[in-house]
Amino acid sequence: MICPLSLNVRITEFLNKFDIIIIKCYKRKIYEVFKNVASSYDLMNDAMSAGVHRLWKDHFIRRLGPTSGTKLLDVAGGTGDIAFRFLKYIDNLNKNESDDLSVPNHIDGFQLHQEDQDLSSSSSSSSDEEDNPMTHHVTVCDINQEMLDVGRQKAESYGICSGMSWLKGNAECLPLEDNQFDAYTIAFGIRNCTHVDKVVEEAYRVLKPGGRFMCLEFSEVKNPLLRSLYDNYSFQVIPVMGQVLARDWKSYQYLVESIRQFPNQEDFSDIIRNAGFRMVSYENLTFGVAAIHSGFKL
């Protein structure tokens, strides 16, 4: 006769193993999704947001307000959308300009001014940048090599040779030392992580005291009528667009579903607070279709 306690232990062990298998399958699915959409990632974001994501990202960087000395870690940022805006924002700041921060798809859409081009072609290394406290730098971290490859290719086409580096790493376990960065950004990536709380805890760990966490993510539309319209667009239109534009119905269907499974604005704010951040706030964009979340390591 099997002891009830022993049976409970066996059942618990089985369930734990089953959970591990599910998590591994989920992570693999996410990796495959972004591997498939890497080459058409900008197109995917256009479909998911009806093109408005470009304006959201511009506003996101303005809210961050980086300066010439800012060290930024941009996680799940493989294609460089946020990183390029960060560099262009500071470039505009140095020239006392306030141009549109979006980067057009064509090669000539992003040009550093002449002084930066001279610096880019010089022999200065990333270590020199780290030694200079007034030199800004962005580290782009992504778990998917295909996404990073797309970002690197963009950087080369824009003529960007300095001020940024690329790192393959898991947002839930960053291969970085503590207290390294002034700012941490993650845009439209955190909802695809298995353990959102671990991602935020890692952000807290790698930020310097006084550092800022900022997240741009699809969120919950509060107005019932607008929510109904957005749901219809999301589930009826976006997967079809994915099939027509990228021949990939399943990946786009998953991305829509991932939005609905992500915590709403208030719940995600609680996760940020629980990780240790203070002065936590959020700003709804386009009636809550997306939201910017912010917190400080104090």
Written as one string, the DSSP assignment of 59-92 is HHHHHH---TT-EEEEET-TT-HHHHHHHHHHHH
The annotation status of 178 as a binding-site residue, yes or no, is no
The annotation status of 58 as a binding-site residue, yes or no, is no
Report how far apart, in Å, the C-alpha atoms of 216 and of each of 29, 77, 206, 248 are: 22, 11, 19, 25
Contact 186, 77 (CB under 8 A): yes
Please give the Cα distance from 60 to 38 (Å, whole number): 22
The annotation status of 142 as a binding-site residue, yes or no, is yes
What is the b/e burial string over 161-170, where b = at least 16 CB atoms within 10 angstroms of the residue's CB?
bbbbebeebb
Q: Please give the structure tokens belonging to residue 182.
A: 């002034």
What residue numbers does the annotated binding site cover? Answer: 79, 142, 170-171
The annotated binding site for S-adenosyl-L-methionine is made up of 79, 142, 170-171
